[in-house]
Amino acid sequence: MSTASAMPRIDLRSDTVTRPTPGMREAMAQALVGDDVFADDPSVNALQEKIAKLLGFEAALFMPTGTQSNLCGVLSHCQRGEEYIVGQMAHCYRWEGGGAAVFGSVQPQPLTQQADGSLALADIEAAIKPDDAHFAKTKLLALENTWGGKVLPQSYLSEASALAMQKGLARHLDGARLFNAAVAQAAALGTSPYDEAKRIAQCFDSVSVCFSKGLGAPMGSALCGSKAFIARAHRLRKMAGGGLRQAGFMAAAASYALDHHVLRLAEDHQLMQDLAQGLSGIPGLQVETPQTNILFVDLVGEAKAQGAALQTHLKQAGIDMTGFYRMRFVTHLDVDRAGIDRTISAVRQFFNA
């Protein structure tokens, strides 16, 4: 057996690959369950109340996936023939199968994002259609935080929110990694990540937050909003096949994650800083400065032709990542310092650096 095969694999492809911790498994095993379609699963109800209160909303709805959560969110704001303004590289536009258009006849109006993931306020304003029969009605502004691991500045969120309200638009946040943003923001300000999560969320009418990424739950997201909004989303969830039965086992995992896995996201962020520092200075690599748990590394010059070979080399070393010319690494609760050190060593070995 080779040394690489004897070592545990280091999976840096995404923070979706995490496995439940022993404490989370125990919480799942002890979970009270009912039938959530009848709204009598106590663990689901408790989770919905917890996340709604935590983010400052009236109500929340547990969803199987973030894609379904965003879909129900957009379709709860927009009707057929209406549109939402969204980033060209936003997840709820580019990587969710065109669901709003396919299932809701809601037109996306994608805009080019700035380097930090924001949409320029002037671009948003220019994209809002006049009230004319020639155009779809602009009803919603959808933003994403974090985006590519980058944190949208709180000042920008406040300004974009104010512009949307001034123009009569609803506001939706794809906060799949909301708590990564909150932890990073809190570290910079010396505040509580829970307070920062609420501060971010309150710039929006609805927020989708994922439990199965950095928080480490096996599955699930929640859509938060007003009671009337969540009532509409509940009907849409049913139509989209999202009615769950004894979902309390999964809800208990998500609830455990909210209690135990938010503050530890800072560890993922620090490990990513260490990885970025360890890869910096290698000829042929252009390393971005990470803000949270996602790092992009571009192969430039002659190194660009070595992308596939580098990925093969890392795989043989027991390290999984994504991308050939633009590599993406993601830290999470199943990655430790030894794994980061192994990754740095393997990349440096490949480039003889």
Q: What is the model's pLDDT at position 85? A: 98
| 38 shares its domain with 106 | yes
> What pLDDT, in 10s, does the model give residues 22-73?
999 999 999 999 999 999 999 999 999 999 999 999 999 999 999 999 999 9
**Contact yes or no for 44/213 (Cβ under 8 A):** no
* Residue position matching structure tokens 């946040």: 173
Q: How far is it, in rounded angstroms, from Cα 289 to Cα 292?
A: 9
| 255 shares its domain with 270 | no
Residues of the chain below pLDDT 50? 1
| 228 shares its domain with 242 | yes
> Quick check: is 217 in a domain?
yes
| 111 shares its domain with 237 | yes
| Axis-axis angle for helices 193-201, 42-55 (nearest 10) | 80
Cα 240 from chain centroid (whole Å): 21
Q: What is the model's pLDDT at position 20? A: 97
Rounded to two decimals, what is the model's pTM?
Answer: 0.95
Q: Mean pLDDT of all residues in the chain? A: 96
Burial of 224 (0-12, 13-18, 19+ CB in 10 A): buried
> What pLDDT, in 10s, does the model give residues 9-22?
999 999 999 999 99
| 44 shares its domain with 136 | yes
At 161 the three-state DSSP class reads helix
> Quick check: is 44 in a domain?
yes
Helix spans in 61-153 (H)? 66-77, 91-94, 99-104, 121-127
| 164 shares its domain with 232 | yes
| 211 shares its domain with 272 | no
Find the domain containing 128 and state its range.
22-259
Q: How far is it, in rounded angstroms, from Cα 285 to Cα 291?
A: 18
| 167 shares its domain with 28 | yes
> Quick check: is 191 in a domain?
yes
**Contact yes or no for 165/171 (Cβ under 8 A):** yes
End-to-end CA distance of the chain: 27
| 275 shares its domain with 240 | no
In this structure, what token pair is assigned to residue 74?
């957009």
Task: Write the CATH number for 44.
Answer: 3.40.640.10
Cα 33 from chain centroid (whole Å): 27
**Contact yes or no for 324/306 (Cβ under 8 A):** no
| 231 shares its domain with 274 | no
Q: What is the model's pLDDT at position 1? A: 43
| 153 shares its domain with 294 | no
Task: Write the CATH number for 328.
Answer: 3.90.1150.10
Instruction: Kindly report the length of the chain.
Output: 353
Total number of domains in the chain: 2
| 333 shares its domain with 194 | no
